Amino acid sequence: VKYKLWLQQAKYDQPDASPYARQKFTVQIFNPQGETVFEEVRETDDYGGIEGTWPLPKGAMLGSYQLLI
């Protein structure tokens, strides 16, 4: 599973600089039962973006997973 997201505050009259640029955040993925199945610390890029991958294990539970920062 690949994920990519940007952390930003909506300020349309401000420059594109992100207050979250080059900061570290913990990325967590939870299965449908609310159990943590993935956790790692990632650093945002110059625009507040984070991307990464999580290898989906064989026999993974069906349902909706949550990704939290």
pTM of this prediction? Answer: 0.85
Q: Along the 69 residues of the chain, how does pLDDT read in single tens digits?
A: 999 999 988 777 777 778 899 999 999 999 999 999 999 999 999 999 999 999 999 999 999 999 999
| Structure token pair of residue 36 | 């943590």
Burial class for 42, CB neighbours closer than 10 Å (0-12, 13-18, 19+):
middle
**Sequence-ordered list of residues with C-beta below 8 angstroms from that of 34, at least 6 positions apart, any chain:** none
| Nearest-angstrom CA–CA distance, 66 and 25 | 16
pLDDT of residue 18: 85
